[in-house]
Chains A and B, each alone.
Chain A
């Protein structure tokens, strides 16, 4: 089966994301534009993944629960798991290691847990957009222990990327992610030559969803199938312009 996937999306739990980004709205938009594989990657938390999983199941969308973890060096990593329980358990060790800073909603943004009816279940009080206690190497080990995929996020970006924080891409990654702008700009072949490169939208707003995505083929509807495609480098990247992305009712071209 061919999967069209956007694997870096923030819900309303991330302080920097729009409050419109409820799991329901994300999945509805993804289905509307023809995506059939999604990941939810809030900053340092998998707290909205259980709700998201239910909507994905209803829509027949393959779902990878995940988090975008900030390492102690302040580099971002997309960590993806096979099931919500594993992502939640991993999320707990990350949460427990976060630099303690209280969220100030009016300055940093709301961090909202929502249920299936878009109802607010709770507000997260710890600020999530902050460094965890795990260095890159520790994080890699922990993700492997939980059987997840460890993806260096937006390696083309001048801040919060491993390349900007540590000067280079070092060590093993399941994949390295180019931002939508980076994938559009091109010229990162040398940087990513030892890795499988992917791209994703890093959506913070509904209209961003699917703006950058990948296509892969897998016989199994689980993360192992995706991991195999990554290992074999069988990934096709697609980037779309804003006009296309905001045009309602159109399906994604690949």
Chain B
């Protein structure tokens, strides 16, 4: 499923659309970037409240297709710019990581 379709199914907005056609095959939820680097799978939607430049760097490294920033954490401008360059869509929601993880799991297995 594309990041765009996933955002629509979740009912949340895409704040950085470059990369919205990336195929999302799974999810990974963490706020520790070291953990993401070590354990996240390629093609995942990375569900987190870490909304800064390093989030994009780590996402790029593991081949994440999208970043879902939860709890409406403010997203920095340099994060948006980096995500454009790295072709990784950013989704933004007021929902927390638990809820989003549950929903992404349901939608992807659907």
Contact = CB atoms under 8 A, between A and B. Distances in A.
Interface of A: 70, 73-74, 99-101, 104, 107-108, 127, 130-131, 158-160
Interface stretch (B8-16, B19-27, B31-39, B95-103): B31-39
A5 to B, nearest CB: 28
B61 A130 contact: no
Interface residues on B, range: 10 to 19
A70 B61 CA distance: 19
A108 B54 CA distance: 12
A159 B38 CA distance: 19
**Among the interface residues A99, A108, A160, which one has the most CB atoms of the partner chain B within 10 A?**
A99
Given A130-B38, A131-B32, A159 B54 contact: yes
Contacts, number: 29
27 contacts: A70-B34, A73-B32, A74-B32, A74-B33, A74-B34, A99-B34, A99-B35, A99-B37, A99-B38, A100-B38, A101-B34, A101-B37, A101-B38, A104-B61, A107-B60, A107-B61, A127-B37, A130-B34, A130-B37, A130-B38, A131-B32, A131-B34, A158-B52, A159-B50, A159-B52, A159-B54, A160-B54
Contacts of A104: 61
A8 to B, nearest CB: 18
Nearest to B52: A159
Contacts of A99: 34-35, 37-38
Interface string B36-75: 0110000000000010101000001100000000000000
A102 B50 CA distance: 23
Contacts of B60: 107
Given A70-B34, A131-B32, A159-B52, 12 more contacts: A74-B33, A74-B34, A99-B34, A99-B35, A100-B38, A101-B38, A127-B37, A130-B37, A130-B38, A131-B34, A158-B52, A159-B50
A110 B70 CA distance: 33
Contacts of B61: 104, 107-108
Contacts of B50: 159
Contacts of B38: 99-101, 130
Contacts of A158: 52
A243 to B, nearest CB: 23
Contacts of B54: 159-160
Nearest to A159: B52
Contacts of A73: 32
User: Which of B32, B34, B50 has the most CB atoms of chain A within a 10 A radius of its CB?
Assistant: B34
Contacts of B34: 70, 74, 99, 101, 130-131
B56 to A, nearest CB: 12
Contacts of B52: 158-159
Nearest 7 A/B pairs, CB to CB: A131-B34, A130-B34, A99-B34, A99-B38, A101-B38, A101-B37, A159-B52
A130 B34 CA distance: 5
A244 B60 CA distance: 36
Contacts of B32: 73-74, 131
